[in-house]
Chains A and B, each alone.
Chain A
Amino acid sequence: MKMGERKFIISSSPHIHDGSLTPRIMWGVSLALLPATLVSFYAFGWDAVRVILVSMVSAVVFEAIALMLRNRRPRQAMDGSAALTGLLLGLTLPPGISNAMIMVGTFVAIIVAKQVFGGLGQNPFNPALTGRVFLLIAFPAPMTTWPLPRDLTSQISSLKSFLGLAVERHADVVTGATPLGAVKEHMLKALPHINMGDLFFGLHTPGSIGEISALAILLGGLGLLVARIINWRIPLTIIATVFAVAFLYYLAVPPKVSGMSPVSAAFYMAVFHVFAGGLMIGAFFMATDYVTSPIFPKGQIIFGIGVGLMTIIIRLWGGYPEGVSFAILLMNALVPLIDRYTMPKPFGWVDRRA
């Protein structure tokens, strides 16, 4: 080729990039949920596999349909964000929920909470949580039926139902109250026995399939922190706020735990609130959702404290045993406001009133 005749690509600077890619981030978050997913498989067997499969696949299908209706390339549905929403929703459901209900949940999450607002990046509310809260309100009974994990009868029946063999589903399932539900019921009476180890490892406590093991969530959360996909601000402020308020509350209203001083009982209960229910998954995976959380550092701290406060207020004084989902959705609504007031001033900013 002769010099001076070669044609080159023209584009605006910069001409290099660090290689990061949105789909890779989304799939990375899903990967961080792998420990929790595996624990759910182990604890609830085929039911958990079914719930997560149905949730993820239907979320992606709804996304693809919506993209087609909006004249976008349906291939975008594989950008990982819909699959992540499906996975997150699935992990917050009880294992016995029916496939139809799961699909109602993913429909609300993908279509109503996300695509109606303009798709990726435009939705004010966390899609997975919106789907979950909708199910909770629409189907309160199935959404709060908690089979015990590793229960053999339910394992067998769930395998049958997975394979399409069972006619009578879950008639024989042994159910139990979630630890949070139990605490709520017994609040001012004697505390039921809660094994903190069970809560942490998650193998013997009833609960949503992905929320039973604080350890599994923590592992994934640490992975996100190390990979710099999320930063510490939101999860840490949520956990610290929940812990602090719970501790103070139980100091003021001492629970009766046999063989414990009031202070250590309060400490015990504060730790319990951190590990119980959806707090861990909420703090690390839901509240940190880029699209629906504040973008500036100060705002992230305000947001985290807000979520922590709301959660513990609902748990201690509200009508529901669990408050993480509501707390995050409520704070989601405040994000535009928080962003507006926490926007940093440009370097060298001079106050214009001066």
Chain B
Amino acid sequence: MISKTFRGGIHPYYGKELAASRETEKLPLPDQFFVSLEQHIGAPVKLLVKKGDEVKAGQLIAEAGGFVSANIHAPTSGKVTSTDPVDHVSGRKVPAVTIKADGNDEWVDLEPVDSPESADPKTLLDAIRRAGVVGMGGASFPTHVKLSPPDDKPIDTLILNGAECEPYLTADHRIMVEKPREVLLGALLEARILGASRLFIGVEDNKPDAIKALEDEVEGLQLPENIKEISVVPLETKYPQGSEKQLIKAITDRNVPVKGLPMDVGVVVSNVATCYAVWDAVYNGRPVIERIVTVTGRGVVEPGNYWVRIGTPVSHLIEAAGGYEDDAAKLIIGGPMMGFAQGTDAVPTMKSTNGVLVQTRDEVQGPDFAPCIRCARCVEVCPMNLPPFLLAAAAEAGRYDVLDQDVLFSCVECGSCAYVCPSRRPLVQFIRMGKAYFRGQKKGK
């Protein structure tokens, strides 16, 4: 079988063997949770609890502040001890609910949807919205919004993103191996809501066990009548295969236009962990308060995968993974290509936290960089066909006047360019600077 792919990209050391075969374990609950109130893209949430309140697991503690927003629920039962800001992945401090767990883990009554296979799309969407499901692959876009495209954008194809091209991370891999049925049932619900007739599950070919597990499930699946085509599509193991536009190109050969969205070409892409959350929300009425997180890297003693309640401090996760190695030097939320380096492990997990990576001192590169020698490596690997060296140089020099915004904002910040630059130039950082400049300008107007 030939695996599909896109133009450009890189083949970094994947490091998946550290955790790929480690079955997901339930992480013991910590004493304290820090539930961030900034866990999605869109309008801020409205806080519903205050200091001193008792909460139960699954209880709504912050309500969506609009259509493009997402509910947030308590991860366990206990007492709200503070609503002061805490550390956030972004490095800022943002509003959060601190909950002291009472250890009983008592749940609110859950309301699953009756006979989900025949329930109407509105009911399904509402269940998804209530559960606070967002894109779990890292984008954090509210799922009920993604599943409600405008009428003039008919969707014929739903793509499940199981590429997991980020090196080291295995959370999506594990959910496909361990919960293939739930993932597919969730996907069928999404397809029905969208009215899509084709369902593709894209998986990089370095995960043959996931491909097999999904194919076996697809076989035994009772297909609703809207689905005319369903298949698991092996993809070449190449970064950033899981980037939305590259995935769509590889599987459907459609080009999402610059500034456009997948729905402009009749496609919606949904991460496999998101599908699982959709299944959980509809079949069990369970809100998103738990997800799989990979704890990995040479800097932790025992890499593995864990079912983690949202709001668990990263330090607690590290402890479960046997603690730090002595030479641990860098803590990253997410993967090594697009993840965020953290100053402290007090930072809590969120709905989009798919991994925690700890690098050792010798894996960390210094801040020194040299001038661009025009070697063209960045041009060769850019999946968006951009000239990264030029964008970065213009931003570095403050020459925003020569930057074409459509080109600049085409950059998906995948990091491929910086990964191959022999002068070690922080290309993505410069490009982000350029984007920030134009965003600031827009706001200023």
Please state if B426 and A12 are interface contacts (CB–CB under 8 Å).
yes
Looking across the interface, which residue of chain A has its beta carbon closest to that of B265?
A348
Q: Is the CB of B184 closer than 8 A to any CB of chain A?
A: no
Q: Is the CB of B251 closer than 8 A to any CB of chain A?
A: no
Q: Which of A319-354 contact B (CB under 8 A)?
A: 343-350
Please state if B406 and A346 are interface contacts (CB–CB under 8 Å).
yes
Supplied contacts A7-B343, A9-B329, A15-B341, 19 more A-B pairs, CB within 8 Å: A1-B324, A3-B319, A6-B345, A7-B344, A8-B343, A8-B345, A9-B364, A14-B418, A14-B419, A16-B336, A24-B422, A25-B375, A79-B370, A121-B423, A290-B374, A295-B387, A346-B384, A347-B245, A348-B245
Task: Identify the A interface with B (CB < 8 A).
Answer: 1, 3-4, 6-18, 20-22, 24-25, 76, 79, 81, 119-122, 290-291, 293, 295-296, 343-350
A7–B343 CA distance with the chains assembled, in angstroms: 6
A75–B245 CA distance with the chains assembled, in angstroms: 44
Given A21-B422, A25-B375, is A13 in contact with B337 using a C-beta cutoff of 8 Å? yes
The 8 closest A-B pairs by CB, nearest first: A14-B415, A121-B371, A12-B429, A20-B422, A3-B315, A346-B410, A16-B336, A8-B331
Residues of A contacting B316 in the complex (Cβ-Cβ under 8 angstroms):
3
The residue in A13, A81, A291 that gathers the most chain B C-beta atoms within 10 A of its C-beta is A13
Min C-beta distance of A116 to chain B, whole Å: 15
Residues of A contacting B343 in the complex (Cβ-Cβ under 8 angstroms):
7-8, 10
Q: Is the CB of B379 closer than 8 A to any CB of chain A?
A: yes
A6–B407 CA distance with the chains assembled, in angstroms: 40
Residues of A contacting B318 in the complex (Cβ-Cβ under 8 angstroms):
3
Please state if A290 and B424 are interface contacts (CB–CB under 8 Å).
no
A20–B377 CA distance with the chains assembled, in angstroms: 10
Please state if B371 and A119 are interface contacts (CB–CB under 8 Å).
yes
Residues of A contacting B256 in the complex (Cβ-Cβ under 8 angstroms):
348
- Among A9, A18, A76, point to the contact of B341 (Cβ < 8 A): A9
Q: Is the CB of B313 closer than 8 A to any CB of chain A?
A: yes
Interface string of B322-353 (1 = CB under 8 A from A): 00100011111010111111111110000000
9 A–B contacts from the bound complex (CB under 8 Å): A3-B318, A4-B344, A11-B367, A13-B334, A14-B337, A14-B415, A16-B419, A18-B419, A348-B260
Residues of A contacting B112 in the complex (Cβ-Cβ under 8 angstroms):
none
Q: Is the CB of B372 closer than 8 A to any CB of chain A?
A: yes
A24–B370 CA distance with the chains assembled, in angstroms: 13
Please state if B376 and A290 are interface contacts (CB–CB under 8 Å).
yes
Residues of A contacting B339 in the complex (Cβ-Cβ under 8 angstroms):
13, 15
Please state if B330 and A3 are interface contacts (CB–CB under 8 Å).
no
The residue in B260, B371, B432 that gathers the most chain A C-beta atoms within 10 A of its C-beta is B371
Please state if B91 and A18 are interface contacts (CB–CB under 8 Å).
no
Looking across the interface, which residue of chain A has its beta carbon closest to that of B415?
A14
A15–B334 CA distance with the chains assembled, in angstroms: 11
Q: Is the CB of B108 closer than 8 A to any CB of chain A?
A: no
Residues of A contacting B332 in the complex (Cβ-Cβ under 8 angstroms):
15
Q: Is the CB of B420 closer than 8 A to any CB of chain A?
A: yes
Looking across the interface, which residue of chain A has its beta carbon closest to that of B8?
A347
Please state if A15 and B359 are interface contacts (CB–CB under 8 Å).
yes
Please state if A13 and B338 are interface contacts (CB–CB under 8 Å).
yes
Residues of B contacting A1 in the complex (Cβ-Cβ under 8 angstroms):
324
Is the contact region of chain A dominated by helix, strand, or loop, or is it mixed? loop
Please state if A13 and B428 are interface contacts (CB–CB under 8 Å).
yes
Q: Is the CB of B383 closer than 8 A to any CB of chain A?
A: yes
- Among A14, A81, A344, point to the contact of B336 (Cβ < 8 A): A14
Q: Which of B233-282 contact A (CB under 8 A)?
A: 245, 249, 255-258, 260
Q: Is the CB of B12 closer than 8 A to any CB of chain A?
A: yes
Q: Is the CB of B53 closer than 8 A to any CB of chain A?
A: no
A122–B167 CA distance with the chains assembled, in angstroms: 35
Please state if B10 and A18 are interface contacts (CB–CB under 8 Å).
yes
Residues of A contacting B94 in the complex (Cβ-Cβ under 8 angstroms):
none
Residues of B contacting A16 in the complex (Cβ-Cβ under 8 angstroms):
12-13, 167, 336-337, 363, 419
Q: Is the CB of B365 closer than 8 A to any CB of chain A?
A: yes
Interface size on B, residues (CB 8 A): 75
Q: Which of B284-315 contact A (CB under 8 A)?
A: 313, 315
A15–B359 CA distance with the chains assembled, in angstroms: 9
Residues of A contacting B12 in the complex (Cβ-Cβ under 8 angstroms):
16, 18
Residues of A contacting B372 in the complex (Cβ-Cβ under 8 angstroms):
121
Residues of A contacting B33 in the complex (Cβ-Cβ under 8 angstroms):
none
Q: Is the CB of B48 closer than 8 A to any CB of chain A?
A: no
Looking across the interface, which residue of chain B has its beta carbon closest to that of A335?
B374
A191–B158 CA distance with the chains assembled, in angstroms: 72
Q: Is the CB of B403 closer than 8 A to any CB of chain A?
A: no
Min C-beta distance of B366 to chain A, whole Å: 10
Min C-beta distance of B266 to chain A, whole Å: 14
Residues of B contacting A18 in the complex (Cβ-Cβ under 8 angstroms):
10, 12, 419-420
Please state if B329 and A8 are interface contacts (CB–CB under 8 Å).
yes
Residues of A contacting B334 in the complex (Cβ-Cβ under 8 angstroms):
13
Min C-beta distance of B343 to chain A, whole Å: 5
Q: Is the CB of B123 closer than 8 A to any CB of chain A?
A: no
Looking across the interface, which residue of chain A has its beta carbon closest to that of B374?
A290
Given A79-B370, A120-B370, A346-B406, is A9 in contact with B330 using a C-beta cutoff of 8 Å? yes
Please state if A4 and B415 are interface contacts (CB–CB under 8 Å).
no
Q: Is the CB of B148 closer than 8 A to any CB of chain A?
A: no
- Among A14, A21, A290, A346, point to the contact of B258 (Cβ < 8 A): A346
Please state if A350 and B338 are interface contacts (CB–CB under 8 Å).
no
Residues of A contacting B373 in the complex (Cβ-Cβ under 8 angstroms):
22, 25, 81, 120-121, 290-291
A79–B424 CA distance with the chains assembled, in angstroms: 14
Interface string of B422-443 (1 = CB under 8 A from A): 1110101100100000000000
Please state if B428 and A14 are interface contacts (CB–CB under 8 Å).
yes
Min C-beta distance of A90 to chain B, whole Å: 21
Please state if B418 and A347 are interface contacts (CB–CB under 8 Å).
no
Please state if A25 and B384 are interface contacts (CB–CB under 8 Å).
no
A293–B374 CA distance with the chains assembled, in angstroms: 8
Min C-beta distance of A303 to chain B, whole Å: 12
A346–B415 CA distance with the chains assembled, in angstroms: 16
Residues of A contacting B407 in the complex (Cβ-Cβ under 8 angstroms):
346
The residue in A4, A12, A293, A344 that gathers the most chain B C-beta atoms within 10 A of its C-beta is A12
Please state if A8 and B341 are interface contacts (CB–CB under 8 Å).
yes
Looking across the interface, which residue of chain B has its beta carbon closest to that of A350?
B257
Q: Is the CB of B385 closer than 8 A to any CB of chain A?
A: yes
Q: Is the CB of B386 closer than 8 A to any CB of chain A?
A: yes
Residues of B contacting A14 in the complex (Cβ-Cβ under 8 angstroms):
336-338, 415-416, 418-419, 428
Please state if B255 and A348 are interface contacts (CB–CB under 8 Å).
yes
Min C-beta distance of A18 to chain B, whole Å: 5
Please state if B374 and A295 are interface contacts (CB–CB under 8 Å).
yes
The residue in A1, A4, A14, A293 that gathers the most chain B C-beta atoms within 10 A of its C-beta is A14
Min C-beta distance of A15 to chain B, whole Å: 4
Please state if B336 and A15 are interface contacts (CB–CB under 8 Å).
yes
Looking across the interface, which residue of chain B has its beta carbon closest to that of A81?
B373
Residues of A contacting B359 in the complex (Cβ-Cβ under 8 angstroms):
15
Looking across the interface, which residue of chain B has its beta carbon closest to that of A119?
B371
Min C-beta distance of A234 to chain B, whole Å: 11
